[in-house]
Amino acid sequence: MDEQLINGLAEEMGIMPDFYDIWGIRHDVTIETKVGVLKAMGLPVEDEGALRAFLEKKRQPPVLEPSVVAERNLAFKVNVCLPSCAGRIPIRISLEDEKKAVRKWSVRQTPEEVTEFGGQKYGRYLVDVGPLPQGYYMFSIHAPGGKRAAGDTRASCRLIIAPRTCYLPGEQMRSWGVNLALHGVRSEGNWGIGDFRDLGRIMDVVAGLGGDFAGILPLHQVPLPESVSPYWPISRLYRNFIFLDLEGIPEFDPAGRAGLQQEIDALTAAREVDYGGVYALKLRVLREMFARFYSEHYPARTERGLAFEAFMGKEGEPLLNYATFMVLSEVHGMNWKDWPQELKDPGSGPVNEFRRQNMGKVLFHVYVQWAIDCQLKGLSERAARLGMRAGLFLDQAIGTVSGGADDWTFRDCFASGASAGAPPDEFNLKGQNWGFPPMVPQKMRESGYAAFIGTVSKNMAHAGMLRIDHALGLFRLFWIPEGMEPSQGAYVKYPAEEMMGILAIESGRHKTVIVAEDLGTVDPAAREALMARNMLSYRLLIYERLYPSPDLVPPGQYPRLAFCAVSTHDLPTLYGWWAGHDMQVKRSLSLYPSEDSYHRDLAARERDRGIILGALKKEGLISDNYEMPSDMNEELMLAIYRHLGRTPCLYVSVSIEDIFKSFEQPNLPGSGDGYPNWKIKTPMPIGSMAGAAEPFAASFRQEGRGR
């Protein structure tokens, strides 16, 4: 294969020729990797002639870029490139807003410059537009053809008119809150898994102690009961019914609870979350509730029935596609790529006919999503009544699985034959393959960002804050071609300005603060660009070092526009970290490549414990004669949180595992079935949370943080 051709195509498609790993070593991307990535993008890599034709067309000046981003309420110009035009020509323009209102006008212009490509001359025109309010517009032009043009030129593009920054509340006081894995919450009232009623009770506790948010893991729909990871969704637009408080839905029959009590008791008594049991029970009861709703409210078009219809109308085609996918998956399996050919297109006649014949089953899944939306709305309103300035802190995963509902609905935007991941680093020496298909930047732009806009908008609904998992993926994402190791991958560039503009629009519309998870191998320019947009940096105590020194960053040197915490769901709890429990578990599961690497970690952990004590003593948070304890204790834990509490960061998070002094982290990456990932329950019920959390609140009050 012609390497020059492949290199040219790779450059045009945003495949970076090299990258530096976390140790500063440069890696040149091989031709084989570039071919694999290009193939996953949908290019005909087996046909050299077709590739040359594609490259020639790609390099040809476009009439309009697929998308243009501009700042709201400021005039701007759109580049229009027309073939074989000379002198002043008329250009007819139409501008359509989101409500389908259309404005039309014409201009007569001469080209700013004339260039030549492939023997064809092109004139570049600058068309004045705006100023416009924020939002999404369709910009279209119609211009006469030149002497060598086959006819008139018509083209359209998406205008993204965005505010300069994402939403931040007017009153930006330093505050704190709690993060938790909702599935693991124990309570007297739930059905073996933490639910939205439990979350409401936790919000009551946090607000009562002066905290401002309750954060949870992603609520995305996952392929239950086969997979339970919240970061392995079949849809990021729609949510998992397993967290519903069924007793809080009007169609629940309280008299029927007695018949369920034995099952509920068994699920709540289970040492770990029994997803299969909870899933089966809640699904059965939900179907009974939907049958009651349908017979009493839907055909009769009661007030509740009309509210259901309004929700379905507002959600539109994406929800119907999702609900149809769920019904089809019951017949043909969860991976649409294995379905009969005629069902692989959600807009096909056979799919529409299937939907018509199974509308009752489709409406059941609409009903479930409506119930989830109602309960999240109720939690958001509850937070406002409690005076919580952020309230619900939700989480958006970086991707969605191949063959899932989103992949079906927006299948033209996803790569086929590659997975997103990360190159090797000090925590994952073999690199990471996350197992989901990345979105193809060019196809995202050509589609007007429908999938991206829908995803972020749905995840911001009812959220006071939203964490964007792996926010560096707005700039570049690591692609691993099928059949290759993570070490053989390549970074692909993404249209960051356009995607950040969309986040700014949706953030303002929903009044949602954006927390950009910027951990890992971070390009300082990317982090600065995120913070310039008022996206909060995600700072973890154990990673904040005065590199190349391992010493901790002093509290005063943390940025204001940041969300900080000790750890995350993928990292050890404070009690587990101090005792080295995580290393013992990894060793028992043979996750260390060698005994030497285990002992290096032991030595580094001993060093880091000393560094933490030194930092706390320097800040006067513990006495100078405080001796290194073998185990974590409450005095030391609170001193560590006070260290974060005195930073200028807008938000500090306390993990529920630290409140309950747990040794077990919710997830141990790379452990497979050897560790109970996403199944661990809290050691105590949430009824004891207020007393356990009060010392944290008192520590934060000492640092002037909170209400």
pLDDT digits (tens, 9 = 90+) for 67-80: 999 999 999 999 99
Nearest partner of 91 among 110, 113, 75, 107, judged by Cα: 107
Q: What is the mean pLDDT of residues 258-268?
A: 95
Nearest partner of 151 among 54, 87, 82, 88, judged by Cα: 82
**Phi, psi dihedrals of residue 515, rounded to the nearest 5°:** -105, 115
Percentage of the chain lying above the pLDDT 70 cut: 98
Residue 95 to residues 66, 98, 128, 132, 576, Cα–Cα distance (Å): 15, 10, 12, 11, 58
Q: What is the DSSP string of 269-296?
A: HSSB--HHHHHHHHHHHHHHHHHHHHHH
Q: What is the mean pLDDT of residues 241-266?
A: 95
Residue 106 and residue 364: Cα distance in Å, rounded?
50
pLDDT at res. 148: 46
Per-domain residue ranges of the chain: 73-162
* CB-CB contact of 281 with 263 (8 Å): yes
Please check the confidence at residue 19 and state whether its pLDDT lies above 80. Answer: yes
b/e sequence 355-389, b meaning 16+ C-beta within 10 Å: beebeebbbbbbbbbbbbbbbbeebbebbeebebb
pLDDT at res. 363: 98
pLDDT at res. 356: 97
Q: Which residues contact 249 (CB under 8 A, 6 or more apart)?
A: 289, 371, 375
pLDDT tens digits, one per residue of 366-404 = 999 999 999 999 999 999 999 999 999 999 999 999 999
pLDDT at res. 192: 97
pLDDT at res. 207: 97
Please check the confidence at residue 60 and state whether its pLDDT lies above 90. Answer: no
CA angle at residue 36 from 30 to 40, to 5 degrees? 145
Q: Which residues contact 127 (CB under 8 A, 6 or more apart)?
A: 77, 78, 80, 91, 93, 107, 109, 141
Fold exhibited by the domain 73-162: Immunoglobulin-like (2.60.40)
Omega before 685 within 30 of 0, i.e. cis? no
Residue 238 and residue 224: Cα distance in Å, rounded?
14
Place of tokens 């197992």: 435
Place of tokens 């004339």: 114
Please check the confidence at residue 359 and state whether its pLDDT lies above 70. Answer: yes
pTM, rounded to two decimals: 0.94
Mean pLDDT of the chain: 94
Q: What is the mean pLDDT of residues 457-477?
A: 96
Least confident stretch, 197-201, 452-456, 544-548 = 544-548
189 or 119, higher pLDDT: 189
pLDDT at res. 510: 97
pLDDT at res. 669: 86
Least confident stretch, 131-140, 141-150, 642-651, 682-691 = 141-150
Read off the pLDDT band of 86 (50, 70, 90).
Answer: low
Residue 653 and residue 677: Cα distance in Å, rounded?
22
Nearest partner of 537 among 658, 636, 651, 411, judged by Cα: 651
pLDDT at res. 424: 81
Please check the confidence at residue 150 and state whether its pLDDT lies above 80. Answer: no
Omega before 131 within 30 of 0, i.e. cis? yes
pLDDT tens digits, one per residue of 265-311 = 999 999 999 999 999 999 999 999 999 999 999 888 899 999 999 99
Residue 387 tokens, joined: 């005076």
Most confident listed range (161-175, 240-254, 522-536): 240-254
